[in-house]
Amino acid sequence: MTQADTSHLEPGTSRTVTLRVFRGDASGGEFVDYTVEMDEGQVVLDVLHTVQATQAGDLAVRWNCKAGKCGSCSAEVNGKPCLMCMTRMNTLDVSKPISVTPIKTFPLIKDLVTDVSFNYEGAKQIPAFAPRAPDAADGSYRMMQQDIERGQEFRKCIECFLCQDVCHVIRDHPENKPNFLGPRQFVRLAELEMHPLDTADRTEFIREAGGIAYCNITKCCTEVCPESIHITDNAIIPLKERVVDKYYDPFRWIFGKLTGRD
Amino acid sequence: MAQVDRAVSPPHRLGFLRTLRTDAWWFEPAAIGIGLSVFLGYLTVSAFLDGWAYEIGPYLTPVFEPKLAGSFDAWYFSPALLILWVPVGFRATCYYYRRAYYRSYLLSPPGCAVGDAGKKYSGESTFPLVMQNLHRFFMYAALVFVVLLWIGAIRSFYNTESIIDGVAVETGWGIGLGSIVLVINATLLMMYSFSCHSFRHLVGGGSSCFSCSAVSRARKRIWDRVSAWNESHRTWAWASLIWIVFTDVYIRLVANGHITDPNTWGGF
């Protein structure tokens, strides 16, 4: 992608940029060009706010922290799923209009705001954390860092749902939504399955309701994750391997029968 | 299914290659597709070329490693085909190569946020792609091949033939450029195997308790090391693929008299 030459901008100076923003709702809409001044160091969300403040007061856009931690401002900039607050203007070619569209995979409500309730419905299906008995009479637990650290990567998830958006299983095939929970939920499932206190076995759930076999590990979820979680390598593939342990490995089945271990 | 479940937000539309991306998203899948075709295509042809010399002195091309006992003339087809199902199966079901050929060959999807090919999609949940779950079995077999390839690499330092191509040469321990090429080949294939996702799961990834016993603590240390290697699995995959082609080309050129291998046995 071409780097825009904005390095010459001094604080207090600006240049013109055109955002081509989609305006509409589920019934349709159109792209509208907004040409505004852009300052050095700005991100796409900053420029969108300028548009909102000066030319389109009714523009619908979700945002909150402007620091890449709330996961609200997910959108597609020049067709690439991203957080608008973490996409710097100097990474874009501002000599051409920059398209800003809502994320594709979920139904549009208005302008850049989509209905992401699919993800919350999926989360509700996941068998809850089931801890073993406490280690002490006061109900507290003792965990070793080496046991818990794998799951700490997954707790970085900010639920921006960019991984869900870019996943072609549901992005290009919405009919798969009832059969596939998506990468974000696999991250949650991996966190639970690898938790040292958890006692539940979700392997069947991961295989059946989760639909993990739909994932063909093309790693787009990992590529777009703003928290740099290794979704495919550290969550999805380990879960796939656990499914193989239980359903596709006759050696383990025989070993289990011989030793009486599950 | 409610209509809302089928919706995608406008202005996006469903369909093959539908995208709003403006960058050269097609470059990576195209380059990988061409690369895979060239290197795997060469190895496929090489496997059938058992009539073109593939060994000389202590060197045996890895395409035919391990060298099967008995006369190769007894086979009605290339003996390489009897062994290549292991590395071919291992790579075909490898998590990295799956990503590569799903994108480059099956266009499923060709790029991130680019419409994939096919009106329906069931991924690896149905036949034939459900067979990808065989990866760990190919991995078990591939670990045996790591040993076999190292035996071949070590053997390449010990020449037993006193006359090669009608020329008297030294026998016994020595070293040649071919020996170094074969050692690098064994090293790269070993690292490709040891950085495998299934191997990572085998050594410790399947455990949820690393601190429970001395054995599990040892597994954690191994898992940490394999996890570090696993981050470069793609690099190992490509390096080993390219080097096995180079090794095969080199040994065949030496074996057929096109180039001379510099070595301590007197050259051949």
Residue B102's alpha-carbon distances to A215, A216, B22, B206, in angstroms, are 11, 8, 22, 26
**Which residues make beta-bridge pairs with B176?**
B263
How close does chain A come to B11, measured CA to CA in Å? 7
Is the Cβ pair A147, B208 closer than 8 Å? Answer: yes
H/E segment holding residue A185? helix A183-193
pLDDT of residue B2: 44
**Which residues make beta-bridge pairs with A54?**
none
**Residue B124 sits at the chain A interface (C-beta within 8 Å):** yes
For residue B3, is pLDDT > 80? no
pLDDT of residue B208: 82
How close does chain A come to B90, measured CA to CA in Å? 15
Is the Cβ pair B208, A195 closer than 8 Å? Answer: yes
Residue of B nearest to A224 (CA): B112
Mean per-residue pLDDT of chain B: 92
pLDDT of residue B74: 60
User: What does the block give as tokens for B145?
Assistant: 């091949």
Q: In this structure, what are the phi and psi dihedrals at residue A13, rounded to the nearest 5 degrees?
A: -100, 170
pLDDT of residue A258: 85
> Which position has the higher pLDDT, B212 or B243?
B243
CB-CB contact of A113 with A62 (8 Å): yes
CA distance A64 to A53: 16
Query: What is the signed CA dihedral for A64, A68, A74, A78, rounded to 10 degrees?
Result: 130
Residue of A nearest to B103 (CA): A218
Is the Cα torsion angle B28, B110, B196, B38 positive or negative in sign? negative
pLDDT of residue A10: 62
For residue B6, is pLDDT > 70? no
Residue closest to B116 by CA, chosen among A214, A160, A120, A99:
A214
Q: List A residues 133-152 in contact with B (Cβ-Cβ < 8 A).
A: 144, 146-147
**Residue B102 sits at the chain A interface (C-beta within 8 Å):** yes
pLDDT of residue A262: 61
pLDDT of residue A14: 73
Is the Cβ pair A80, B102 closer than 8 Å? Answer: no
Angle between helices B27-48 and B95-104 (to 10 degrees): 110
For residue B29, is pLDDT > 90? yes
At position A81, the amino acid (one-letter code) is P
CA distance A204 to B133: 16
Tell me the pLDDT band of B267, cut-offs 50, 70 and 90: confident
For residue B4, is pLDDT > 50? no
pLDDT of residue B71: 54
Residue of A nearest to B218 (CA): A146
Is the Cβ pair A214, B121 closer than 8 Å? Answer: yes
Residue of B nearest to A210 (CA): B125
Is the Cβ pair A173, B21 closer than 8 Å? Answer: no
Question: Chain-centre distance of CA B212, in angstroms?
Answer: 35
Burial of B255 (0-12, 13-18, 19+ CB in 10 A): buried
CA distance A168 to A157: 20
Is the Cβ pair B134, A168 closer than 8 Å? Answer: no
Size of interface A-B (CB pairs under 8 A): 167
Q: List A residues 202-231 in contact with B (Cβ-Cβ < 8 A).
A: 211, 213-220, 223-224
H/E segment holding residue A256? helix A250-259
pLDDT of residue B76: 65
CA distance B185 to B207: 32
DSSP H stretches of helix in chain B: 3-6, 27-48, 80-83, 85-92, 95-104, 135-155, 177-194, 197-200, 214-230, 233-255
> Which position has the higher pLDDT, A220 or B67?
A220
**Mean pLDDT confidence for B29-55:** 94
ipTM: 0.92
pLDDT of residue A257: 81
3-state secondary structure of A157: coil
Residue of A1, A166, A213 lying closest to B113 (CB–CB): A166
- Name the one residue in this structure whose structure tokens are 């690393």: B210
pLDDT of residue A211: 97
For residue B16, is pLDDT > 80? yes
Q: How does pLDDT run across B131-177, given as a tens digit for each residue?
A: 999 999 999 999 999 999 999 999 999 999 888 888 888 889 999 99
Is the Cβ pair A238, B205 closer than 8 Å? Answer: yes
Residues 6 or more apart whose Cβ sits within 8 Å of residue A46: A38, A39, A89
For residue B254, is pLDDT > 60? yes
Residue of A80, A146, A237 lying closest to B21 (CB–CB): A80
Per-residue pLDDT of chain A (262 residues; tens, 9 = 90+): 444 554 455 666 678 999 999 999 999 899 999 999 999 999 999 999 999 999 999 999 999 999 999 999 999 999 999 999 999 999 999 999 999 999 999 999 999 999 999 999 999 999 999 999 999 999 999 999 999 999 999 999 999 999 999 999 999 999 999 999 999 999 999 999 999 999 999 999 999 999 999 999 999 999 999 999 999 999 999 999 999 999 988 787 788 788 876 6
Q: Edge to edge, what strands does the sheet with A98-101 contain?
A: A28-39, A14-25, A98-101, A74-77, A80-83
For residue B92, is pLDDT > 90? yes
CB-CB contact of A213 with B130 (8 Å): yes
Is the Cα torsion angle B67, B73, B75, B77 positive or negative in sign? positive
Domains of chain A (ranges; CATH) run 7-114 (3.10.20.30), 117-259 (1.10.1060.10)
**Residue A126 sits at the chain B interface (C-beta within 8 Å):** no
Residue of A nearest to B10 (CA): A28
